Amino acid sequence: MTSPAPRFTHSLTIPSPHIDATMSSATPSIPAVIDVDAELGYWRQRHADGLLGPGAFNHYVPWIKFACDCLITHPRASDEQRDEMFQTHYALMIMPRLNQAQARHFVEQCWQHVYLAGHQDPAAHPRLGARA
Domain residue ranges of the chain, discontinuous segments joined by +: 42-132
Residue 51's pLDDT is what?
94
Divide the 132 residues of the chain into consecutive groups of 10 and give the mean pLDDT of each group: 51 36 51 93 97 92 97 93 96 93 96 90 80 47
**What predicted TM-score, i.e. pTM, was given to this entire model?**
0.76
Residue 13's pLDDT is what?
38
CB 108 within 8 A of CB 24: no
**CA separation, residue 3 to residues 6, 7, 80 (Å):** 9, 12, 42
Residue 12's pLDDT is what?
41
Residue 2's pLDDT is what?
52
Residue 7's pLDDT is what?
52
